[in-house]
Structure 1
Amino acid sequence: MDWMAWTVPTAIFFSTIALTIVVFTVLAIRYPETPRVGVLRIETTRGDRLFITLLGSAFITLGWLAAFGAPLWGALIACLVYALAVFRWV
């Protein structure tokens, strides 16, 4: 896989997403959930909220890169706060 230029941060990123999906699958099997309605006024499940979080985090990170550049620690903090808000209120 030399053509993909895998680096340690890239491998950690994709491994974390894969692990998160596995954990959410196990949670869905072990603890079935009924959809709930949040501030968006749509029914969402854990998986829906995870998807909304991942999509929003991508946009937050891209916006951070456009505005501030390479050190992404601030974007990471913003994404974590966003994820907590999505899982709490959406």
Structure 2
Amino acid sequence: MIDLSWMAWTWPTAIFFVVIFSMIALMGVWEYVSPGGAPRVGIFRFETTRGDRLFVSLLGSAFICLGWLYFTDLSLWYALIVCAAFFILVFKTV
């Protein structure tokens, strides 16, 4: 039997992974319902698809949360608000 007691499987951790999995699954459904997604050129001047924008927003959100933990003592719930705004900004402009 594998001992996984060292892992911090808490409700917030489980919710995090469920949300990430759900976002990827919903992108798959969206692509199935509306194939292609018409790649577009945004403010960074390179072509992106919906999947690219999801990846950029998830990666950026990870860095926002890491920076939040490093630079502030405020709750991560505030960082979640910043990440949600970043997610919307990426999907609208990138």
Q: How many corresponding residue pairs?
A: 90
Q: Which residue does the alignment assign to 2:78? A: 74
Instruction: Give how far 1:71 is off.
Output: 1.1
Structural mapping, 1:45-56, within 5 Å? 45-56=49-60
For 1:4, the aligned partner's letter is: M
Question: Which stretches of structure 1, 4 residues or longer, exceed 6 Å deviation after superposition?
Answer: none
- The amino acid across from 1:26 in the alignment is V
In the alignment, which of 22, 26, 30 is matched to residue 29 of structure 2? 26
> What is the aligned-residue RMSD (CA, Å)?
1.1
Aligned to 1:39: 43
Query: 2-side partners of 1:79 and 1:31: how far apart?
Result: 26
TM-score, normalised to structure 2's length? 0.89
TM-score, L = length of structure 1: 0.93
Percent identity between the aligned chains?
54
Name the structure 2 match of 1:61. Answer: 65
Q: Which runs of 5+ in 2 are unaligned?
A: none
Higher Rg: 2
Compute the displacement of 1:2 (Å). Answer: 3.3
Gap runs ≥5 in structure 1: none
SS at match of 1:4: coil
